[in-house]
Amino acid sequence: MTTTFPLLRLPYPVLMHALKQMEFLDRIALSLLSRRTRRFPKLLIPNSINMHMKEKMDFMESQQSCVTFLGFLLLQFTN
């Protein structure tokens, strides 16, 4: 007789540790089981990726602001 393991009833830190130990394809298979399990692979994405993207966007915005300001100065001194 086979008994089931209550994976979804584990505390959050233990669940995350268990998911980190799973192979990539096993995570994908788990995410296809239900709406609740669909979010698990997303939770494993490191925050550093999100921070890197935010820093890159901030840098691009600051470059755009700098170019706009330099264009304004150029127009002021050429007139």
pLDDT in tens, 17-37: 888 888 888 888 888 888 888
Tens digits of residue pLDDT in 38-77: 888 777 776 555 566 666 666 666 666 666 666 666 666 6
Give this prediction's pTM.
0.50
Listed residue (48, 46, 41) closest to 22, CA to CA? 41
Q: Which amino acid is at 12?
A: Y
Helices (H), 1-79: 12-21, 24-31, 35-38, 40-43, 47-78
